[in-house]
Structures are given as structure tokens and as C-alpha cells.
Amino acid sequence: MSDVKPRVRIPKSAKKGEVVEIKSLIEHKMETGQRKGKDGNKIPRKIINRFECKFNGGLVFASDWHPAVSANPYLAFHFRAEESGEFEFKWIEDGGAEYTKKAKITVS
């Protein structure tokens, strides 16, 4: 699926103890399963149903989504920076496909 593009914006650096905002967006139709196609049949549901944010391997934030989340799901949340490291962001689609993105932060 080339039309699914995950994007994340985080600050490159932070002071120890600082709470930073992480903004994420993934280009995805979020097909609800409620819409009908031209042939009158319902278009099967296909949404991103879970988002996870890991930092240095440990889960620090997650979110479960239902069809009521808008297309191209946007999510902003926070993280308290205590040490430098790497984030791994993961979006999981109905059917099990996964989209991931990594980003580093330097904490001083």
C-alpha cells in the first residue's frame, strides 16, 4: 500500500525532564465499513485500529481507534524526556499490516 504514509514531528532535542509534544499523522482512508460503493454493496471496513509509541524499546503511549476516527488520522500527545534515545512509532491496520517510523531525540 503505497498510499499509506506515516509522518511524525518531534523536537530533535530537549532538556532533561522537559515534556515535549509529539505530532503524528498517517495518510489513510480509514474506510468505516458503513459506506456503500457504486454497486450498492458495503465497502469492507479497513482502518488503522492501533497506534503505538515505544521509546528505547518500552511502550510509552498507545491508542486504540474505531471507525469514528477521521481519515488521515492525526494524533498529538506528550512525552517526558529523561534520556536520549529512539522512538519507534507503529500503526496497525485491520488485517495486521503495520507501518512504522523511527525518530531520535537528544536529551541534555
Q: Which stretches of the chain bind another protein, using CB under 8 A? A: 19-20, 32, 34-36, 55, 59-71, 73-80, 82
Q: Write down the least CB distance from residue 74 to another protein, Å.
A: 5
Q: Write down the least CB distance from residue 61 to another protein, Å.
A: 6
Q: Is the dihedral of CA 12, 17, 19, 25 positive or negative?
A: positive
List, in order, residues 6 or more apart from 35 with CB less than 8 Å away: 42, 43
Q: Which is nearer to another protein, 6 or 67 (CB)?
A: 67
Q: Write down the least CB distance from residue 26 to another protein, Å.
A: 12
Q: Which of 74, 79, 73 is nearest to 60 (CA)?
A: 79
